[in-house]
Every structure is written in C-alpha cells, then in structure tokens.
A and B are shown apart, each in its own frame.
Chain A
Amino acid sequence: MNKLELQKMAVEVRKGILEGVHSAKAGHPGGSLSAADIFTYLYFEEMNVDPKNPSDPNRDRFVLSKGHTAPGLYAALANRGFFPVEDLLTLRHTGSYLQGHPDMKNIPGVDMSSGSLGQGLSAACGMALGAKLSKQDFRVYALCGDGEIQEGQIWEAAMFAGFRKLDNLCVIVDNNNLQIDGRIDEVCSPYPIDKKFESFNFHAINIDGNDFDQIKAAFDEAKATKGMPTVIIAHTVKGKGVSFMENNVGWHGKAPNDEEFAIAMEDIRKAGEALCQK
C-alpha cells in the first residue's frame, strides 16, 4: 500500500476501534487510537500474513503485549479480512469471540493471548527463538505500552532477546506518554527508553509513530539490522484522531457515550474526507 492508502486504511481502523468500544460500553480507546497507524502498517504493509490461512507456519507473528488495546488489533484484523468487520460491534459482549483482551484460541489471526501487562514480550521472544532454532525466516513483532515497560518481566525478556541476538524480533513501544494514573514520567518514569533498550543490546530507533513515512523507514531499518533485536520507540498521541480524546488520559479506558461517539466519528469521517480530496 502507498502512504495515502495506508492513511485511508488507518481511518477505517480508527472507525472500528470507536464502534467496538462504543458498542461494548467499555474498553481502551486512547492507546488503541495512538497505535492505530502502527496496527495498520503492520497488517497492511509489513507483515507476511494470509487471512485465508491464519495459522500458516511461515507467517510473521504479532504479539500485542499491551493487550488492552485489543480494539485496535481487532479493527486491523477485521479490515484485513480475518473476520467480518461487523463483528467488531460484538466486542466485549457476552458470548462474543472478541474478548476484552486478545484470545488466541478463538480469534483468527491472534498469535498470542495477552492482557496481563509485561508478559507478551516473553512469548514473542519464545517465537523468535523458535524460528532461529528451526531455521525459519519469519519475523516476530511485539507491541508494548510505554507504561507497560515498568513491568520487570519486560526487562527479563529484553535481556534474553539482546543476549540471544534475536534480530528477527522487532519490539515497538507505543510511547504516548500516558498511563491510567497520569503521565508516565510522573507515575514512575521509564525514560530514557531508547538508552535502556540499547544497554540491553537492542538497536533503538525513535520515530513519530503517527507518521507513515517514519513508520516505514523504521521497519525497513529493523529488517536490515542484523545481530541484535530492534526496538522502535514510536512517539504517538494518545487518542490520536479524536479531538477530545487526544492527549487526554481520561480516555485511557473509557467508552464514549452516544453523543461523544457521534462527535468522534465525525472527526474520523472528516479526516477520511480530507484524504479523499488528495
């Protein structure tokens, strides 16, 4: 996909996030929206995946370590054809396969169950190690939250990945600077994130995580980096694309009511319209 196509797809992904969370009357729109461009790039450009064969052993793997932003992952998977887009409206409903956090047993395209913060990166390391052991050339991607990296297990995994030179692993940190209780640098600062990963023998790249040119350049650089894993620190805006949600921690884990939903969808619609005139 070219940049404009990716931008248009990201509009669809953002619509899916809002529709799902609104229908569920619960969920995490802020961090789903901040990472919407990354989800879009991964599933529509970067990763080798086939919705018709979601368990292809040679596919690239994705682990959503910040599992609470499942609405973003589901919206990307649905638009990519892994399951019907209409099903996004069943998010978090009793009996729906679209659980509040990713459930690999029941959701086509989900490579790992996650939700308890700090655990996904270890599973991604296991996948990357397994690929090395069996000499398969698929790549493994893991998306972490910037608050999530306060978890100690993240650094156990980072030490392992750096030590084992897992260059088939690419970690993305969605650095939107907000966690439930406030700014990450006021709650318990993980900064400097790049230097921390570098000292664990990672190649670190800082980008604007809501800019497709920079996202593409970073993933290309990650693929070209040999002998060490890469971390992309994606500087993003929490709630990106919805005027009243942007940089507002109150929208970390809250669903919009009907009125707010209408305004949010109008924001997204306008962004889409502007792209069509390009």
Chain B
Amino acid sequence: MSEVKKVATREGYGSALIALGKEHENLIVLDADLAAATKTGVFQKAFPERHINCGIAEANMAGIAAGLSTLGYVPFISSFAMFAAGRAFEQIRNSIGYPHLNVKIGASHAGISVGEDGASHQCNEDIALMRTIPGMVVINPSDVIEAEAAVKAVYEYEGPVYLRFGRLAVPVINDRPDYKFEMGKGVELRDGKDCTIIATGLCVCGALEAAERLAADGIDAQVINIHTIKPLDNELVIAAAKKTGRIFTVEEHSIIGGLGAAVIECLSENCPTKVTRIGINDVYGESGPAQELLHKYKLDADGIYERVAAEMKER
C-alpha cells in the first residue's frame, strides 16, 4: 500500500481561517489559551489585531463573540470540544443560539482520539449537546480537505455553527478534483446493496476500509459520509435505508445523541429500519495513543469490519 497522506482536521481550520481572513476584514478569531493546539496560532501570526486571546475563560469568550457579532463581525471561537461545547454550553445556548447570532464555534480535540490526555479531555458528548440547540448547525469533517471547505462554507452562512475537529492526523480521503462541500448534504463514497455504513469525522476513512474487507467476504456495503449532522440529510439517509434495508452508523462520539441517534430519529419516523450504532458505548475514555484507543474502542477499520461482519452474518 502506498504511503497515505495524513493531516489533522484542525490544520484545515487554521489554513481556512487565514484564507478567509485575507478576503474578509470582518472575520475575527478568538481563542482561550489554546492557539497552538486549535491552530488559530497561524491566524494570530498573519492577523495579530484580529486574533483575541481571551485567556482560560471559555464562557466569557462565547459572550465576547456574541457581542462582536452584533456589530457585524463574524467571530470564530476556538477551544477544545470539551470546553467549547461542554464548559460553555449554556453561554452558547443563551448568548449565541437564542438570538441566532452569527458566531462559529471551532472545536478541536474532539473524541477519544485526543489520546494520552485521557477521559477528562476526550469529549464524546459535544455533538449531542450542540444538536439540541435550536438553529445550530453541527459539522464534523472527515479529513483536512473537508475541514477547510467546511470552514469556508460556514463563513458564507448566516447563523451559529458548531465545527468539530480532531487532534489526530488522519488520512486524506477527499483529495479529488471534483470535491465539493455542501452544508447539509451527505456524500455517498461507495455504492453497495447489502447494507449501509453511515459514518462521520475520522470514522469515515475506517468505514471505507471496512467496506473493502466486507466486499472480500461477499458483503456489499454502501458507505455514506455525513459531515453535517444537523441539519441531517434525511433524504439520503431514507434512500439508503430503502435501498439496503440495514444501517450501521459509526462515530467517534457517544452512541447517545450523536450521528447514530440522529439517523435513528430520522428513520424511525420515516422508514423504520434496523440500525446498529457503532460509537462510544456510554463510557468515559482513557489515556493512550490515539490509534490504540480507536482500536480498543473498536472505531477503526478493524472494529467496524468485525461488527458489521458479525451482525450481517446473524441475518
């Protein structure tokens, strides 16, 4: 196998902010003492006057961004998912969501692939939290190309958006000339007739690899990348359910409230279908190298393959 290029999605956040910053004077970036990690540090170098370090005070940062947005600025607030969606949940809900202000939340270090820092920093609940806020868009890009495209797309969109990025360098899978990011639209990456694997974020790559292995076993799996979890591409999800009749969801997030839950909500009302949620099974993570944790928690290609193969055999 040839060398696969790997880049963390947070890198796409930083590079897209710079590109946008060059074009748009009203773009402003806020951070909470994590500029090197969230990759807003590169923006800070390019536009020091438009990078506001709020110190370790995420709740205040959310409010500052709300105030700035009322003046026509487009603030991107940046922290780890745990402290953005977690610590500042209520500020995002009340100061940004309720008045539907044009604030973008760039949350890095989501999921267990944070790795060695362990459970306190591994946010597996952010999609669930953000998804419940009325009017909030929730995006979880699958690679750096999608991350960069998503950041650029949400700048053009008026309203609050939660963007989820990872710490871990992950394979680039969207490097093709016709790649286009459309907010709210899922992407079919592999056709298949026996079952559908709906994945998001870094799990999309693992899902694709799992599908190839399943094919060797005679299981033809469709693979869909859902980068926008809210609003969910109901049409594509329902079409997939109708086509294959068996759905697996894969996410580096709790099986409660995330992609799997969103898919179930959609299908139970529109096209009742058996859905298996592959994700973090209502437990905290732990310290360890990211790849080892993804393997242990069965969210890598091996884990996805084994689970799908086992359940498809039971049919």
User: Which positions in A face B, CB cutoff 8 Å?
Assistant: 57, 61, 63, 103-105, 111-116, 118-131, 133-134, 152-153, 156-157, 159-160
* Smallest beta-carbon distance B262→chain A, Å: 26
B62's closest neighbor in chain A, by CB? Answer: A122
Give chain B interface residues in 18-50, CB to chain A under 8 Å. 28, 49-50
Interface centre among B50, B64, B90 (most CB of A within 10 A): B64
Contact of B71 among A57, A118, A120 (CB under 8 A): A57
Main secondary structure of the interface of B (DSSP, over half): helix
The answer to whether residues A125 and B90 also contact, given A113-B98, A119-B95, A159-B55 and a CB cut-off of 8 A, is no
Interface range, B side: 20 to 34
Contact sample, A vs B, 16 pairs, CB 8 Å cutoff = A63-B67, A103-B98, A103-B99, A113-B94, A116-B94, A119-B94, A120-B63, A122-B63, A123-B70, A123-B95, A125-B64, A125-B67, A127-B71, A131-B71, A133-B73, A157-B64
CA distance A126 to B103 in the complex (A): 12
Residues on B with beta carbons closer than 8 Å to the beta carbon of A121? 63
Residues on A with beta carbons closer than 8 Å to the beta carbon of B95? 112-114, 116, 119, 122-123
Is there contact, CB below 8 Å, between A153 and B59? yes
Residues on A with beta carbons closer than 8 Å to the beta carbon of B60? 122, 125, 153, 156-157, 160
* Smallest beta-carbon distance A57→chain B, Å: 7
Main secondary structure of the interface of A (DSSP, over half): helix
Is there contact, CB below 8 Å, between B90 and A160? no
Is there contact, CB below 8 Å, between B71 and A130? yes
CA distance A57 to B70 in the complex (A): 10
Interface centre among B61, B62, B65, B68 (most CB of A within 10 A): B68
The answer to whether residues A115 and B94 also contact, given A160-B55, A160-B57 and a CB cut-off of 8 A, is yes
Interface centre among A63, A118, A121, A160 (most CB of B within 10 A): A160
New contact pairs (8) apart from A122-B66, A123-B95, CB-CB < 8 Å: A116-B95, A119-B95, A123-B63, A125-B64, A133-B49, A153-B60, A157-B60, A157-B63
